[in-house]
Amino acid sequence: SYWEFIEATEGEDSSGWSSSVQEDISALEGYLMKMDIL
């Protein structure tokens, strides 16, 4: 589910990720959230 995905990623150390990867993840989070709403 969306929240399971958030819980799984919140524990990760994102400080070392590139900005492009963070943007991709943000887009994926938004997509999954819309799917759950629908």
What pLDDT does residue 24 have?
86
Q: Model confidence over 1-38: pLDDT tens digits?
A: 677 766 666 655 555 566 777 788 888 888 888 887 76
What pLDDT does residue 16 have?
57
CB atoms within 10 A of CB 8: 9
What pLDDT does residue 22 have?
78
**3-state secondary structure (DSSP) of residue 35:** helix
What pLDDT does residue 11 have?
57
Residues 6 or more apart in contact with residue 1 via CB below 8 angstroms: 36
What pLDDT does residue 17 have?
60
What pLDDT does residue 9 have?
66
Q: Distance between terminal CA atoms of the chain?
A: 13
Q: What is the four-CA torsion angle of 19, 33, 2, 32, rounded to 10 degrees?
A: -70
